[in-house]
């Protein structure tokens, strides 16, 4: 085995997962399950209401309104996520620029205060 292989094995050895990771996964799974149960309940309720003739039109309208609302909500969430990503990129660019600026300032200072040759 080459030294590079050993160094890579060392650099890429498994890290411990962050503290409380499994608990957070289980909480996420629980939320997801509750969400799935809720949407199951809603679709059963809508189906039952749709079977009653006097509620059929109202249920259909409510269903359409719900579908449009969900679509709008998803679009809005996507736009928000895009905004967040753009913000992160700007912050990263600013950090890089800041770093370069500090390096330049240090270089300028070094030149400024360097003893001049006679």
Partner 1 sequence: MTPVADFEGMVREHQSMVFSIAYHFLHDRPAAEELAQDVFLQLFKSMGALESAEHVTRWLRRVTTNRCIDHCRRSRLMPRIGLDQVPEPSIPGGAPDLMLSRALGQLVASLPANWRALVILKYQEEMETEEIARALDMPAGTVKSQLSRALDFLREKASRVLGETV
Question: Is the Cβ of residue 69 or residue 99 nearer to partner 1 in the bound state?
Answer: 99
Please identify, using beta-carbon distances, which residue of 14 and 116 lies nearer to partner 1.
14
| Distance of closest approach, residue 17 Cβ to partner 1, in angstroms | 4
Pinpoint the alpha helices (H) of the chain. Answer: 3-11, 21-51, 56-113
Residue 13 Cβ, how far from partner 1 at the closest point, in Å? 7
DSSP assignment letter at 1: -
Backbone Cα Rg of the chain: 29
Minimum separation from the CB atom of position 60 to partner 1 (A): 31
> Of 64 and 91, which CB lies nearer to partner 1 in the complex structure?
91
| Contact criterion met (CB below 8 Å) for 80 and 97 | no
Separation between Cα atoms, residue 61 and residue 46, nearest integer Å: 11
Which residues of this protein are in contact with partner 1, per CB under 8 A?
3-18, 21-22, 24-26, 28-29, 32, 85, 92
């Amino acid at each position: 085995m080459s030294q590079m292989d050993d160094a890579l094995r060392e650099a890429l050895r498994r890290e411990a997962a962050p503290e409380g990771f499994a608990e957070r996964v289980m909480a996420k799974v629980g939320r997801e399950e509750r969400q799935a149960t809720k949407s199951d309940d809603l679709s059963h309720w809508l189906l039952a209401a749709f079977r009653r003739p006097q509620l059929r039109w109202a249920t259909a309208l409510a269903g359409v309104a719900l579908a449009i609302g969900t679509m709008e909500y998803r679009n809005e969430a996507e736009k928000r996520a895009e905004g967040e990503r753009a913000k992160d990129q700007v912050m990263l660019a600013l950090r890089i620029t800041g770093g370069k600026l500090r390096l330049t300032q240090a270089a300028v200072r070094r030149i400024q205060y360097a003893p001049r040759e006679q």
